Chain A
Amino acid sequence: MGRLPETISLSEIKKVVALAKLSIPDIDLEQFFLEINDILSHFDKLNRLELKEVSPTSHISWSQPPSNPDEPREWMGGEELFSQAPAVIDQYFIVPKVVDKQEE
């Protein structure tokens, strides 16, 4: 795949990658950069359409979404839910420290 005109720059892709909570090494990022720019180049076609008066459809809906009554319900909870966690003590998920002393 040859170099195409960029819709998204490499530095922008790096920002998006960080936003998505990913960490892709530079050596792999180059391939994503080419592929995503190729895909984005096809989106340019949508600019041919006159969309000013067109309302967006975020999802297909046939009725007003139902609401649940504001009442306490049984919680599945407990062993079943926590049994899937990689690290748990009692009913707490164990994670590395959130704040590094150096960042404070």
Chain B
Amino acid sequence: MNIDTVKNFTVEDYQNAYKNEEISPTEITQLFLDRIHLLDPSLRAFLTIDETGALQRARELEEKKFGEAEFPPLYGIPIAIKDNICIQGLPTTCGSRILSNYHSPFDATVIEKIKKAGGIFLGKTNMDEFAMGSSTENSGFGPTRNPFDPNRVPGGSSGGSAASVAALEAPLALGSDTGGSVRQPAAFCGIVGLRPTYGRVSRYGLISFASSLDQIGTLTRSVQDSRALFSVISGQDDRDSTCAPYPPFSSSDCLPEDEIKKMKVGVAKEYFSTGIDPSITQRIQEVLNILAKEGFEVVEVSLPHTDYALEAYYIVAPAEASSNLARYDGIAYGYRCHHPLNLQDLYTRTRTTGFGKEVLRRIILGTYCLSSGYYDEFYLKGMQVRTLVKKDFEESFEKCDILLTPTTPSMPFKFGEKSHDPYQMYLTDVFTIPSAMAGIPALSLNCGYHQHLPIGLQILGAPFQEGKIFSFASFLEKILSISPPDIGSIHSKKEVL
């Protein structure tokens, strides 16, 4: 058994191999731990590797016997978890020095669900600090590298999770998406990234950045695996009052092939304006041509407020963040500055030295937008634009079943290329932000390569229509012959500069 044996395995393949006793959870867990030890010194996808816990869990699973009907859906599947999702007893740093010593005393709801489903946690992955970023360069512990090119970013903020799955350090991972932080790194790393409908996955145990936008999402090597993981983590939770009263996703929500071909595919002209890398536009257009040849009706729609969504997001999200991050005060947990003179000094020095620059910038911006005299000028306007963006999508879904867009306007960029100009960095999320503002589900799927770098295609659906998205994405995966990233092309420890 080596990594090549499992490189194209889906969750279903692992399950069948387990049932036939061809492999064991301990063997598979050790395989991935060995892979992490080989690659991660250079890839730096992980902040914490829980070798002891993962192997113990694998042994515990092996001691239990399950019948066919009760076989846990994620039995023996190693999973990487973004470091803003709480696992009891493990560090949960959010990529920030202000939480570098924090160990969570409880499990997030998604963690409880994955444990019950037989999953095994390999460790916690790197991220932009408090999920604020699009490259993982804002991590307080150093950036993660893109598996396709060590000089380029993996995207962010779920860069560690995306890189780990692309490099097959883990078959599955969880990330979080506030304005694109699952989908954009999925695109940059050539894998599948799902942002569910807002409220479809419990946020209990996800450390908040912007509460009205945050959603836990899946990062996987295939659409089928995204579906499998989403089926486990979705569903109502009384501990999250923003959770939708919806049952967990079931594959019965997906469409049969003859129904898929009747789906109307919407294309919004606002997503194909200037400023997009021509290789991305060209590839998306090729995909649209293929779809037309397959008999799909491609419908042009308009989302006229797309151009205002990014600015509205960068009012609303920092405003919410300024409130959510007020709790980091050095009192009950986390970093505390040394020798505070008084309480005020404790607060201000702890926060100023504990947070990185991007977090400070957004706290200042958010505080300003909410402050007396500016609330109407900024925050109220941001919320009003959100109403318009949401309405645009509602109207477009009256004309089509799904929308196709590029996931990102640019190819994976080099380290440092955008980190000196905050607004240029913000623009990398221009295509993922509107759907987040509207709370609708969205999936990014690799649709090809340009000069060995992956290109992401985004599929948007109406609220709770993940079934349509998965159905269409699976179909597209098949006709485009999309395979998981070729791990032979992933740089190893020896090749890194």
Residues of A that sit less than 8 Å from B by CB: 1, 8, 12-13, 16-17, 19-24, 32, 35-36, 38-40, 42-43, 45-46, 49, 51, 54-63, 65-66, 68, 76, 80-81, 83-87, 93, 95-98, 100
Known: A20-B364, A39-B365, A65-B241. A56 touches B423 (CB 8 A): no
A25 shortest CB reach to chain B, Å: 9
Chain A residue nearest to B348 in the complex (CB): A23
Interface members, chain B 280-333 (any A CB < 8 Å)? 305, 307-308, 311-312, 314-315, 322, 326, 329-333
Known: A46-B381, A56-B387. A19 touches B371 (CB 8 A): yes
- Residues B342 and A100 in contact, CB atoms below 8 Å apart: yes
Number of chain B residues close to chain A: CB under 8 A: 69
Q: Which residues of B contact A38 (CB under 8 A)?
A: 422-423
Chain B residue nearest to A68 in the complex (CB): B238
Does B245 sit at the interface, judged by CB under 8 A?
yes
Known: A1-B421, A16-B367, A76-B105. A96 touches B341 (CB 8 A): yes
- Residues B244 and A63 in contact, CB atoms below 8 Å apart: yes
Chain B residue nearest to A25 in the complex (CB): B352
B441 shortest CB reach to chain A, Å: 12
Does B103 sit at the interface, judged by CB under 8 A?
yes
Does B476 sit at the interface, judged by CB under 8 A?
no
A85 shortest CB reach to chain B, Å: 5
Q: Which residues of A contact B351 (CB under 8 A)?
A: 20-22
Q: Which residues of B contact A93 (CB under 8 A)?
A: 331-332
- Residues B311 and A61 in contact, CB atoms below 8 Å apart: no
User: Could you pull out 6 A-B pairs where Cβ atoms are within 8 angstroms?
Assistant: A13-B364, A39-B423, A43-B311, A56-B384, A84-B332, A96-B340
Does B439 sit at the interface, judged by CB under 8 A?
yes
- Residues B212 and A49 in contact, CB atoms below 8 Å apart: no
Does B388 sit at the interface, judged by CB under 8 A?
yes
Q: Which residues of A contact B241 (CB under 8 A)?
A: 65-66
Contact indicator per residue, chain B 228-254, by CB within 8 Å of chain A (1) or not (0): 000000000010011011100000000
CA A102 to CA B439, docked complex, whole Å = 51
Instruction: Return the contact of B422 from the options A23, A35, A55, A58 (Cβ within 8 A).
Output: A35
Q: Which residues of A contact B7 (CB under 8 A)?
A: none
A28 shortest CB reach to chain B, Å: 9
Could you list 5 further interchain pairs (A-B, Cβ under 8 angstroms) beyond the known A42-B311, A63-B244, A96-B342?
Answer: A21-B326, A21-B329, A22-B364, A32-B360, A42-B423
Contact indicator per residue, chain B 336-352, by CB within 8 Å of chain A (1) or not (0): 10001111111111011
- Residues A46 and B212 in contact, CB atoms below 8 Å apart: no
- Residues B360 and A59 in contact, CB atoms below 8 Å apart: no
Does B73 sit at the interface, judged by CB under 8 A?
no
Q: Which residues of B contact A43 (CB under 8 A)?
A: 311, 314-315, 378, 381
B77 shortest CB reach to chain A, Å: 28
CA A76 to CA B439, docked complex, whole Å = 32
Contact indicator per residue, chain B 347-379, by CB within 8 Å of chain A (1) or not (0): 111011000000011011101100100000010
Does B45 sit at the interface, judged by CB under 8 A?
no
- Residues A20 and B336 in contact, CB atoms below 8 Å apart: no
Q: Which residues of B contact A49 (CB under 8 A)?
A: 305, 308, 384-385, 388
B195 shortest CB reach to chain A, Å: 13
- Residues A36 and B314 in contact, CB atoms below 8 Å apart: no
Chain A residue nearest to B199 in the complex (CB): A62
Does B383 sit at the interface, judged by CB under 8 A?
yes
Contact indicator per residue, chain B 381-404, by CB within 8 Å of chain A (1) or not (0): 111111110100000000000000
Instruction: Return the contact of B342 from the options A12, A40, A97 (Cβ within 8 A).
Output: A97
Known: A21-B347, A22-B352, A93-B331. A62 touches B244 (CB 8 A): yes
Q: Which residues of A contact B352 (CB under 8 A)?
A: 22-24
CA A15 to CA B330, docked complex, whole Å = 22
Chain A residue nearest to B322 in the complex (CB): A20
Contact indicator per residue, chain B 181-216, by CB within 8 Å of chain A (1) or not (0): 000000000000000001100000000000110000
- Residues A57 and B105 in contact, CB atoms below 8 Å apart: no
